[in-house]
Amino acid sequence: MEWLDWSLVSSTIRMVTPILLAALGGALCSRVGIFNVGLEGLVLVGAFAAIVGNHFTGSLFLAVLFAAAASVLFSLLFSYMTIGLKANEIVVGVAINFLALGLTTFALRAVFDVKGAFYDKDMAGLPRLEIPLIHDIPVLGEIVSGHSPLVYLAFLASILLYIFFYRTVTGFRVLAVGMNPVAARSLGLKTTRLQVMAILLCGVLCGVAGAQLSLGQVTMFTEGMTAGRGFIALVAMMMGQSHPLGILASSLLFGFMDALSIRLQGFSLPTQFTSMLPYVLTIVAMFFLKDKNGGASSNQQSAR
Amino acid sequence: MVAVKELCKSLVQPLLAVIIGLLTGALVIAAVGESIIGTYQEMWKGAFGNFYFFSSTLARATPIMLIALGLALAFRAGVFNLGAEGQMVLGAISATLVAIYLPAPGIVKILAALVTGIVAGGLWSLMAGYMEAKFRIPLLISTLLLNYIAVLFASYLVSDPFQDKSGSAALAQTVMLEKGAWLPKLFAGMSVHSGFIIAIVAALLLFWVIRFTPFGYEVKMLGHNPFFAQYGGIHRIKVMLTGMFASGAFAGLAGTVEVLGAHYRFVDGALTVPNFAWTGLMATLLANSNPIGVIFTSILLAAFQTGAMGVERNTEVPLELASVIQAVLILFISARFSYSWWKQRKKKGGESHGVA
């Protein structure tokens, strides 16, 4: 049973990657005062674009780049609608989700001429990196080594984002915009530009999340393959209080519960309760941490 | 007269958006290499082509309309309720269990189920409202989270304690309701059921409440300007809580009516997969939270969906045509594509806009 448990941790790490990346993107948006419900759509677009890029260029690097670019295009639309036209961000986010689902399905038909799913056995997925020394250490090697590069990138991104927010000048400015846009503007900060940059960077992260989804675990695209992961990322973001390291922890919890509920299916235990636990915990966490998270949502209330 | 004028005004924008949505739809149809006119003809046939298809469209519009009405009230009061899905599912499962296990004649079962559905949906929604009022947990977040909990809980109930174990395949669903507890169909052999009448009556009722009662006035004031409303002596929390209860109650009713009128049992996923909740949100936005407008917009959105099903049956164009058209519709509505905006745009000196 011992090795079974360690593989549980390893599969947690794999499952958590798309959620973690998207949640970090959501945190960037929430830190500039924008509640991005469109994560689901952005990840889906990234997943599709990654497959397209891989199919036509044959290069995995270009595929990931293409995924990021496609998601950035969608987040450009999001930022233009919300910031440029002052449209309600929830509404635009919902619309982006529908649009992504519809357009990827159409594009699947138009580009590959298939229905439902596209799979090409010649197409290579993301390679598994075997870290030289660590790979040979018994337990640690199994957990840490042998993932796709994007998995490591995701963990790196959360640390980089932490450094960005709390150790750099631009990061402080971004936080200031989220806390009080009016005050930030009166200090001479270019709030609009910072907001747009944050949304576009969110697009990059979501695109990479999509690439991991379609090229990392399996090498295929199916219609609506995100299956709610974008919304789970949104919840992980809330639970982590939009703090990069908090999100790392909450995403790991979600990933672990996910992996656990798959494992529990074998024992005919009700998996609904394990899946429910992260949401319940998030609500409980809100009771204690309610003050920090006022920014994005209080804006929302007054916008109507 | 004022009401008619307001209704017309709230219909101009949707019409413009529908045209743009259809144009975008034409683009994606062309991209797949199908005939645009032919596809839209199929869509029309699928939604309104004969009486059977038309009745299916109305049946699909029923839960969308009820959800949209609840959200219309919530939006008017300035509360953003994203929890319609959970409220609908919880209302539906409670109502189903009452309809199955209450030892009473059919009509009593129906009434008890309707009341249960309304109360269950309402209380679930009220809980989010209470958490906002008492602990300042943002509604936006709590309603979204409560969705998952409600859907997963209902899924547990029908896959373990209340599962239908009589069938050969162990599907996650309850047993069938007895015939007496079914909501009657409006026409024999057609899918539209009396839930549609309930929805229409609810729309008229809500219109009356918003327009002619003190509560409706308070809701309107609060939505327009919360500070002024409070200054004018309106109890913000009370109106917010009432609004949350009412919108959850509508969602619960939507789920109940769908079970009693269409499925006759609670099937796991049957209420979440068709995306009733988000479509209801769209219908509200399209109608600018006008209850009478909601009747038309929910039938319109339902028509896109049933029409797209017809398209998928008869052509190579996928069902998701409806998603594309709906999304573009909403993007245009949300951009406040109004004259004032055009004026502002002219003043600034036309900036380009790139909507997919």
| Gap between the terminal Cα atoms of chain A | 55
pTM: 0.82
Instruction: Give tens-digit pLDDT for A144-155.
Output: 666 778 888 888
B328 contacts on A by Cβ (under 8 Å): 95, 99
A272 vs B159: CB contact, 8 Å cut-off? Answer: yes
* Number of neighbours of residue B165 by Cβ within 10 angstroms: 7
Amino acid at the residue A74: F
ipTM: 0.79
Domains of chain B plus CATH, in order, are 2-348 (1.10.3470)
Q: Which of B149, B317, B329, B332 to mutate to test binding with chain A, by most A CBs within 10 Å of its CB? A: B149
B328 inside 8 A of chain A by CB: yes
Q: Do residues A71 and A42 lie in contact, with contact meaning Cβ atoms separated by under 8 Å?
A: yes
With beta carbons under 8 A apart, name residues in chain B contacting A86.
336
d(CA B180, CA B338): 50
Beta carbons within 10 angstroms of residue B254's beta carbon: 35
Cβ distance of B137 and A96 shorter than 8 Å: no
Nearest CA in chain B to A109: B32
pLDDT tens for each residue of A224-242: 887 778 888 888 888 888 8
pLDDT of residue B344: 52
Asked if residues B236 and B173 have their Cβ atoms less than 8 Å apart, the reply is: no
Closest residue on chain A to B338 (Cα): A85
Fold category of A12-303 in CATH? ABC transporter involved in vitamin B12 uptake, BtuC (1.10.3470)
By the 10 Å C-beta count (0-12 exposed, 13-18 middle, 19+ buried), A270 is classed as: middle
Mutation for B interface: A82, A264, A297, A298, most B CBs within 10 A: A297
B140 near A CB under 8 A: yes
Angle at B317 (CA atoms; ends B316, B321), nearest 5 degrees: 165
| Whole-angstrom distance, CA of residue A221 vs CA of residue A118 | 5
What is d(CA B326, CA B18) in angstroms, rounded to the nearest whole number? 8
Our separate counts of H helices and E strands in chain B read 14, 0
Residues in B touching A85 (Cβ below 8 Å):
334-336, 341, 353
The chain A residue lying nearest B226, using CA atoms, is A302
Per-residue pLDDT of chain B (356 residues; tens, 9 = 90+): 667 776 676 667 767 878 888 888 888 888 777 788 888 888 888 888 888 888 989 999 999 999 999 999 888 888 888 889 999 999 999 999 998 888 888 788 889 999 999 999 999 999 999 988 888 888 888 888 898 899 999 988 888 777 777 766 677 788 888 887 788 888 877 888 888 999 999 999 999 988 888 888 888 787 777 788 778 777 888 888 888 999 999 999 999 999 988 888 888 888 888 888 888 988 888 888 888 889 988 998 899 889 888 888 888 788 888 888 888 888 887 776 444 444 455 555 444 443 33
Nearby residues of B111 by Cβ (< 8 Å), 6 or more positions away: none
Identify from A98, A111, A112 which residue to disrupt to test chain B contact, counting B C-beta atoms within 10 A and taking the largest count: A98
In order of A179, A239, B3, the CA distances from A292 in angstroms are 10, 11, 43
Q: Which residues of A touch B149 (CB under 8 A)?
A: 276, 279-280, 283
Domain ranges of chain A: 12-303
Contact A48, A31 (CB under 8 A): no
Element (H, E) at A118: strand A117-119
CA distances B152 to A231, A274, B90, B328, Å, are: 15, 10, 10, 31
CB-based contact A272 B153, cutoff 8 Å: yes
Residue B68: predicted pLDDT: 93
- Option in A91, A103, A286 nearest B330 (CB): A91
